[in-house]
Structure 1
Amino acid sequence: MAPKQSRGEYIETDTGNKVSRKSVIMGSQNIILGGKTIIQADCTIRGDLRRPAQPGSQGQVALAVGRFCIFARSTVLRPPGKMHRGVYSHYPMKLGDHVFIGDGAVVEAAIIGSYVHIGKDCVIGKFAIIKDCVKIEDGTVIAPNSVIPPFSLVAGRPGVVVEELPETAPEMLDLKAVYKQI
């Protein structure tokens, strides 16, 4: 008798993305994954939160994710939103390549650059802009509308730059992401 085959935990897309069957992805038609991205169990990604379509315009992207990103367990990604002219609107979120988001992090940033490592249990406030090559320590809270400069190590509640990262930061952050997925 042949062994019973179970469905794997991950669904793999044509571009090499791996999405856990235990994650919650709403509005998937408004989410673009660049390729080789891993979305682990219990993640919630809100692609359904987007600006209302303007007459004559095509569908809008709520979340654009670069290549080689990892969203660890129980992370929440939702596009930032605000009240404008009496209407609450959501705005697109863009993530670069080689972004790691740790367990339990909540992200509502406008832009996250490439080679960014966000630790576990972090909160990234609405419309925050995180430039390339940034490491955010576990438990850090980034205030809404903050701009984090490139090559920064950020920690605290509220998050402040505590150290400057060396020029080799992209290689260091890239290797950590590769080893975490193994």
Structure 2
Amino acid sequence: MELEYTTYKRSEFIETDTGNKVSRRSLISGSQNIVLGGKTIVHSKCTIRGDLRRAGPSHQAAVLIGRFCSLGEGSVLRPPYKTYKGTFSYYPLKIGDHVDIGENTIVEAASIGSYVKIGKNCIIGRFAIIRDCCLIEDGAVIAPNTVIPPFSVVAGGPPAKVVAQLPESTQEIFEAQSKDKYTKFVPA
């Protein structure tokens, strides 16, 4: 399936030295605590909460995002949190390379591996772990603390369930698609 070119107004996006394309209409809070690996597209109305991080002297990024990722319009990425003995703490949200997050999806996972596609209108619960090479179907609701094994197709919910397995060629296919999506996201 050949991807079409997607155009955008150059004035509506900021392009960084590492090739990230960030919409001026996205909400990035605590940018000093967010690491974008490079060649990542942050679409309009996307919210990334880098301001939600563990307090203390160790400066650890709140949100780490790999290379060739696409964060869909209206999506929300925020670090997971928990209360332990009366203390409220945030933990880092780590996203691998070649991850595509669909529109209006909420992510509060502990980690998302590389070569993962998450559909539109999904909810990824607190401290969920999605391993490499997974496909999360549109509208899936992944319960908190769930671990999704590699090469899984997940649908439904709550809670979402593994409904199929992906072939071993998934990594190459998702990598090619994410690079193609980035290459074909061009200024008008």
Q: Deviations over 1:11-54 (max 9, x none)?
A: 0111110100000000000001100000000000000001111x
Corresponding residue for residue 176 of structure 1: 177
Show the 5 A alignment for 1:17-166: 17-53=20-56, 57-157=57-157, 158-166=159-167
Shift of 1:179: 4.3
Q: Which of the pair has more CA radius of gyration?
A: 1
Residue type matched to 1:24 in 2? L
Distance 2:65 2:141 in 1: 22
Distance in 2, matches of 1:71 and 1:30, equals 17
Q: Which has the higher contact order (CA 8 A, sep 6+)?
A: 2
| Pairing partner for 2:14 from 11, 17, 20 | 11
**Alpha-carbon deviation of 1:59?**
1.8
Percent of aligned pairs with the same amino acid? 60
- Give unmatched runs, 5+ long, in structure 1: 1-5
- Paired with 1:102 and 1:12, the residues of 2 have a C-alpha distance of 21
TM-score (ref. length: structure 1):
0.92
Q: How many positions carry a matched residue from both structures?
A: 174
- What TM-score comes out, normalization by structure 2 length? 0.89
Q: Distance in 1 between matches of 2:137 and 2:177?
A: 14
Q: Alignment partner of 1:25: what SS?
A: strand
Cα distance in 1, alignment partners of residues 12 and 176 from structure 2: 25
Find the aligned partners of 1:46 and 1:124 in 2 and give their Cα distance: 15
Hey, what's the Cα distance between the residues in 1 that align with 2:180 and 2:155? 23
Q: Please, which runs of 5 or more residues in structure 2 have no aligned partner?
A: 1-8
Q: Give the secondary structure class of the aligned counterpart of 2:173.
A: helix
| Matching residue of 2:6 | none
